[in-house]
Structure 1
Amino acid sequence: MTMSLVFRNEKFSPDRFTGCIAERYQFINCDFSGCDLTDTQFIHCQFYDRESEQGCNFTRATLKDASFKHCDLSMNNFRSVNALGIEISECRAQGIDFRGASFMNMITTKSWFCSAFITKTNLSYANLSKVVLEKCELWDNRWVGTNVVGAIFSGSDLSGGEFSSFDWHSADFTHCDLTRSITSDLDLRSTDLEGVKLDSDQVSILVERLGIRVEE
């Protein structure tokens, strides 16, 4: 894949890419910390340098309604970003760090809603510890070894996901859609599945793990 522009070891000014469409750019060890990337679109961009095995730094950046499509975000630092309405689609995001990220719009101290569209993306070994992603579109993702300790996914669409080496009882998955998902390690005895949507094949597998045979 040919890149049109290459940025190396750059610290960007806050409004450098605000609202822009960046296609086929390569960012090597770049610093987006504190940048306003509201409505910015990144398409076929590379944010991970395979030679140094380093990602870019987006700490405290504003990513409201920003989109990343067909990008490599592996090992990037997304800590404490404002990511309401973010779209990450068909990306590589192994090892991405979302700790402290907010996908939430606070209406009052007791009322809020979340918005995020993270789909068809490899989130293996990503850190989503303590994030709140309620009622979000999170389907067809790969969740291998993803850290979700203390996270809240209640009401989200997690259908079509591949879950392995995954700690189901460490987060809130109530009322989620898990249909079409590979739910390795999911145990009915240790995970609260209130309101969870499953297909019949998944239910059969889960019940069989309890030693119960389901006859058709």
Structure 2
Amino acid sequence: MTTSFWEDKEFTKKDYTQNALPKGNYENCHFVDCLFPEGFLDNQNFVECTFEGCDLTNTNIAHTTFNDVTFDNCKMVGLQFETCNHLLLSLNFMGCNLSVASFHGMDLPRTSFEGCKFHQTDFSEADLKQSKFPNCDFENAIFDNTNLEQADFTSAVHFNIDPSINQVKKARFSKDGLIGLLKKYDIVVT
């Protein structure tokens, strides 16, 4: 079976809910305002691609390669990132809604997550060493046996990280954010 190849192509306002994006290799492609919810992006290869303003809610990304891929202002609710291909994995996120997504057990060191929403997102057993989370919202996100060494949470909000079950050595937090490290003790800070 021949695999299709697309390079330097822009896909704008395409609806892939009824007819899936053709299987193949996409290099340096730009997806703008495309709809993929409840759809299938499985077994695809994306290299140096950008998804901007796309809806990927509950999209199947099993065995998909994301190498140097940026998601900008995308709705990515419920994505199961641990099912994608981990080889050559390199992702960046800006202004995305990643609520109820799962990064369970993933190796994502030095990943940039800027201005993202992570409500009820699972980061358990993930390696997020040296990752950056400027202006991110972690309401009810799960951190359990997560490597957060040298990660930057200085402008993040609503996180609940237990230092006794997560690796937080040299992670950065603001003074206001310290309460997120003490929630399990049910203390009142005024």
TM tier relative to shorter chain: 0.7 to 0.9
After superposition, the Cα gap between the structure-2 partners of 1:171 and 1:33, relative to the gap in structure 1 and judged at 3 Å, is farther
Matches within 5 A, 1:11-22: 14-15=3-4, 17-22=6-11
Number of residue pairs matched by the alignment? 189
**2:17 aligned partner:** 28
After superposition, the Cα gap between the structure-2 partners of 1:205 and 1:100, relative to the gap in structure 1 and judged at 3 Å, is closer
Query: Does the 8 A contact of 1:162 with 1:181 survive in 2?
Result: yes
**1:64 aligned partner:** 47
Q: 2:73, 2:109 → 1: CA distance? A: 21
Root-mean-square deviation (CA, aligned residues, Å) is: 2.5
Structure 1: give runs of 5+ residues left out of the alignment: 1-12, 49-54, 106-113
Which residue among 159, 162, 168 is the counterpart of 2:143? Answer: 168
The offset of 1:23, in angstroms, is 1.2
- Structure 2 residue 92 is matched with structure 1 residue 117: yes
Q: Runs (4+) of structure 1 moved beyond 4 Å?
A: 207-215
Q: 1:185, 1:76 → 2: CA distance? A: 27
The offset of 1:103, in angstroms, is 5.8
After superposition, the Cα gap between the structure-2 partners of 1:15 and 1:162, relative to the gap in structure 1 and judged at 3 Å, is same
Using the size of structure 2 for normalisation, the TM-score is 0.85
Q: Amino acid of the residue matched to residue 165 of structure 1?
A: N
The offset of 1:17, in angstroms, is 4.4
Using the size of structure 1 for normalisation, the TM-score is 0.76
**1:75 aligned partner:** 58
The offset of 1:56, in angstroms, is 1.9
Query: Does the 8 A contact of 1:128 with 1:151 survive in 2?
Result: yes
**1:194 aligned partner:** 169
After superposition, the Cα gap between the structure-2 partners of 1:204 and 1:148, relative to the gap in structure 1 and judged at 3 Å, is closer
The offset of 1:34, in angstroms, is 4.3
Structure 2: give runs of 5+ residues left out of the alignment: none
Q: 1:43, 1:159 → 2: CA distance? A: 24
Matches within 5 A, 1:1-216: 14-15=3-4, 17-32=6-21, 34-48=23-37, 55-102=38-85, 105=88, 115-203=90-178, 206-207=181-182, 210=185
Q: 1:119, 1:145 → 2: CA distance? A: 18
The offset of 1:104, in angstroms, is 5.1
